[in-house]
Amino acid sequence: MPRPPSTPAADPGRASPAAPVGAITRRAQIPRLLAAMAVGAAHALSLSFLPGALAWPAQLLTLAAGLWLAAGATSRRQSGLRGFAFAMGHFLTGLCWLHVSMHDHGGMPWLLAALALLLFCAYLALWPALALMIAHDRPGWGWVAGVAGAWALAEAARGWVFTGFPWLSIGYAHVDGPLGGLAPLVGVYGVGLAAAALAALLALGALRRREQGWRAPAIAVATMLLASAAVGELRFTQPAGGPMSVRLVQGDIAQSMKFDPQAAVRAMRWYAAQVAASQARLTVLPETAWVVPWTHTPPEIAATVLEGLRASGGSLLLGAPIVDAVPGAAPRVSNSALLLAADAPAPRYDKQHLVPFGEFIPWGFGWFVRLMNIPMGSFGRGVAPQAPFLVAGQRVAANICYEDLFGEEIAAQVREPVLAGVLVNLSNLGWFGDSHALSQHLQISRMRALETGRPMLRATNTGVTAHIDHRARVVERLPTAQAGVIDTQVQATEGLTPYARLGNLPVLLLAGALLAVATGLRRTPASEGARPSSKIAG
């Protein structure tokens, strides 16, 4: 008796002809979610470990792979779940150094620190998940527009809600790539919008490869890259005055010893020696190089600093807390930068964008700060705008620690009334060990230089101390986890980039317009249970 012809094994990820449309079992989704998480972890490498020449193509390819997985979803819910899995891999890999701060330096039990990291990354992952739910549609040009617009709006929201945490925004992978040319126009969120569009085009080309429909997406990708590179040749700023000599100091003070009284005095003596040996017009010490107010400095150390400044005729930008008396209330402590000169008043900059849990306590989370054992966990907030420091005829604006994560706030420092020609970041990332947080923060500072057309000087405790020019090139840097100094010449600039003038408004409007276009081009309702056709539509 002849055997009936064999039938091909059913694809567990596809509905059988007899099954209802979109009937995909939960078990079949697990491999796709795991794949999305693995791709997300690889995506984080482009923002953490890879050199610039490899970072931007790696970012595009890995995000394209994540979008390719999301494009196969049969519903908004599935698309959101795959986006969530991708983002969890991305954030857990990119932000694992937070565990170091909570466990190694905060004293939190290992498992509790891991749980806190997991919950925080889960919150951050909601934003990409929401973006892909909004953009869910049959893959086509409207889908590309929806992905780009929704992703940019989600990143901007992540950078604003609950005071914001835009760390690992995808635009930072493109500082050294063609899309970096867009930064002076539309900032990091605009670069991220373009990167999301390119990744969606790559995914669309991969989905259409069997129909020879990959050519149009490929042409669009090449056109966008070439146009962005051409825009990068435009110049919006010019030199202001002559070069200024600068010394940047990296102390490499172990975080475990930083607040020990005897270790703090030894650190101040070492820093004072670097100041006394400096011939620069400006010497910069890291955030909280002094863990006590300048007025509490041991007299012999203060004398060493002031005599050195008198001999060189220079100024010292010192990271230190400042305590102000408040009538009828507790003293106000600020995380500040203080400009010292031998025989002059000492103007100050008070940090404005404070770190939740580290510098202010969100309502209801006092228990978490006590558990973390964070010293000086409640600071006063500086008020914008603050006057720039005047050094050797140049206007210098300070920002402290992760304040340079907020591009619009840094852009405000180069507009009226501040009009800074040089930006300076004082940081202490000792809380995070010798981790990839340090290289990530360097990329963030480089993006701020691109956006504003201003040089950025970085003086950090453990790294990365660096001189970044107005085109985001690293002129000189120190190795991480090593004490040392950089003696360099910085050239101030003047003039405003479009981003410095307008901030994030243009990219937010563009993202909204792209979502409107996506809605108009949507061919089928992207509702629950509406599976994209296996034949990719345009």
CA distance 241 to 228: 30
How confident is the model at residue 465, as a pLDDT? Answer: 98
> Running DSSP on this structure, what letter comes out for residue 404?
G
Closest CA relative to residue 419, chosen from 316, 328, 494:
494
Per-residue pLDDT of the chain (538 residues; tens, 9 = 90+): 444 444 333 433 444 444 443 445 677 789 999 999 999 999 999 998 888 889 999 999 999 999 999 999 989 999 999 999 999 999 999 999 999 988 888 788 999 999 999 999 999 999 999 999 999 999 999 999 999 999 999 999 999 999 999 999 999 999 999 999 999 999 999 999 999 999 999 999 999 887 767 889 999 999 999 999 999 999 999 999 999 999 999 999 998 888 899 999 999 999 999 999 999 999 999 999 999 999 999 999 999 999 999 999 999 999 999 999 889 888 999 999 999 998 888 999 999 999 887 777 776 676 666 666 665 557 889 998 999 999 999 999 999 999 999 999 999 999 999 999 999 999 999 989 899 999 999 999 999 999 999 999 999 999 899 999 999 999 999 999 999 999 999 999 999 999 999 999 999 999 999 999 999 887 544 444 444 443 433 3
How confident is the model at residue 23, as a pLDDT? Answer: 47
How confident is the model at residue 213, as a pLDDT? Answer: 78
| Pairing mode of beta strands 484-490, 493-494 | unpaired
Q: Number of C-alpha atoms within 13 angstroms, CB side, residue 509?
A: 6
Angle between helices 141-158 and 110-135 (to 10 degrees): 140
Strands (E), 448-483: 456-460, 466-468, 474-477
CA distance 141 to 525: 15
CA distance 351 to 401: 9
How confident is the model at residue 80, as a pLDDT? Answer: 96
351 carries an active-site annotation: yes
| Phi, psi dihedral angles at 264 (to 5 degrees) | -65, -40
- Catalytic member of 121, 155, 258, 351: 351
Burial 396-408 (b: 16+ CB within 10 A, else e): bbbbbbbbbbbbb
- What's the pTM value of the predicted model, to 2 decimals? 0.90
| Pairing mode of beta strands 332-340, 474-477 | unpaired
Residue ranges of domains in the chain: 26-235+504-521, 238-496
- Catalytic member of 96, 155, 258, 287: 287
CA distance 90 to 441: 17
Residues belonging to the chain: 538
Q: Which amino acid, one-letter code, is at 368?
A: F
Structure tokens at 52: 């610039």
- Catalytic member of 155, 258, 401, 451: 401
Closest CA relative to residue 227, chosen from 188, 175, 179:
179
Residues 6+ apart with CB under 8 A from 301: 265, 268, 269, 272
Structure tokens at 87: 């983002």
CA distance 281 to 219: 51
How confident is the model at residue 535, as a pLDDT? Answer: 42
416 carries an active-site annotation: no
How confident is the model at residue 1, as a pLDDT? Answer: 46
How confident is the model at residue 12, as a pLDDT? Answer: 37
Fold annotation for 238-496: Nitrilase/N-carbamoyl-D-aminoacid amidohydrolase (3.60.110)
Cα pseudo-dihedral 185, 189, 194, 200, rounded to 10: -170
Closest CA relative to residue 202, chosen from 181, 189, 216, 191:
216
Residues 6+ apart with CB under 8 A from 155: 127, 166, 169, 170, 189, 192
CA distance 53 to 48: 13
| Phi, psi dihedral angles at 365 (to 5 degrees) | -115, 20
Taking CB atoms within 8 Å and a gap of at least 24, the contacts of 304-307 are: 304/269, 304/272, 304/273, 304/275, 304/276, 305/272, 305/275, 305/276, 305/340, 306/340, 306/342, 307/276, 307/342
CA distance 195 to 186: 13
Q: Number of C-alpha atoms within 13 angstroms, CB side, residue 39?
A: 23
Three-state SS for 284-300 is ECCCCCCCCCHHHCCHH
